């Protein structure tokens, strides 16, 4: 077979530094998600959906065969930080947390994850980001040390 083909669904989650509510404005979040979507597209990793709340985001995308997960997330966070600092005077000191979580998503689960991300604001009326993050890590069988998860 001369072609190399892949369908690599990826669910990425990361928060603002110290879960500070930098992204209160839904208009700012929508602009940020559109910007991040463009960054992902530029790396041949198109976004399926991006969502979140004032202090974190979820990205569901298709990972390109040409970039690693770590490279994609590093570049996304770096350029989004620069964009936010330039776009909004109140965000001159904006930072993301140092880490992230990334989960593989099968083709058969893409719609379920898309719906989960679509309804983030509703979901967070009942559970804060820290609880959600722990739940996702446990669901995916990822061991973690509380001392190093939060910054």
Nearest partner of 32 among 90, 93, 77, judged by Cα:
77
pLDDT tens for 95-142 read: 999 999 999 999 999 999 999 999 998 989 999 999 999 999 999 999
CA distance 134 to 47: 24
- pLDDT value for 1: 53
Query: Three-class SS of residue 132?
Result: helix
Burial category of 7 from C-beta neighbours within 10 Å (exposed 0-12, middle 13-18, buried 19 and up): exposed
Picking from 147, 14, 10, 20, the residue whose alpha carbon sits closest to that of residue 91 is 20
pLDDT (tens digit, 9 = 90+) per residue, 32-76? 999 999 999 999 999 999 999 999 999 999 999 999 999 999 999
**Burial per residue of 124-134, b for 16 or more beta-carbon CB atoms within 10 angstroms, e otherwise:** beeeebeebbe
CA-to-CA distance for 55 and 134, rounded, in angstroms?
16
């Amino acid at each position: 077979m001369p072609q190399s083909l892949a369908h690599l669904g990826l669910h990425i989650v990361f928060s603002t530094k110290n879960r500070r509510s930098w992204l209160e404005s839904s208009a700012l979040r929508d602009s940020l998600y559109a910007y991040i979507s463009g960054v992902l597209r530029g790396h041949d990793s198109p976004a399926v959906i991006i969502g979140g709340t004032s202090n974190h985001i979820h990205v569901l995308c298709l990972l390109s065969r040409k970039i690693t997960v770590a490279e994609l997330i590093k570049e996304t966070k770096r350029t989004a930080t620069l964009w936010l600092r330039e776009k909004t005077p109140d965000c001159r000191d904006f930072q993301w947390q140092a880490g992230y979580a990334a989960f593989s998503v099968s083709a058969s689960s893409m719609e379920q994850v898309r719906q989960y991300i679509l309804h983030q604001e509703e979901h967070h009326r009942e559970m804060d980001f820290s609880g959600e993050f722990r739940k996702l890590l446990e669901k995916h069988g990822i061991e973690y040390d509380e001392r190093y998860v939060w910054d």
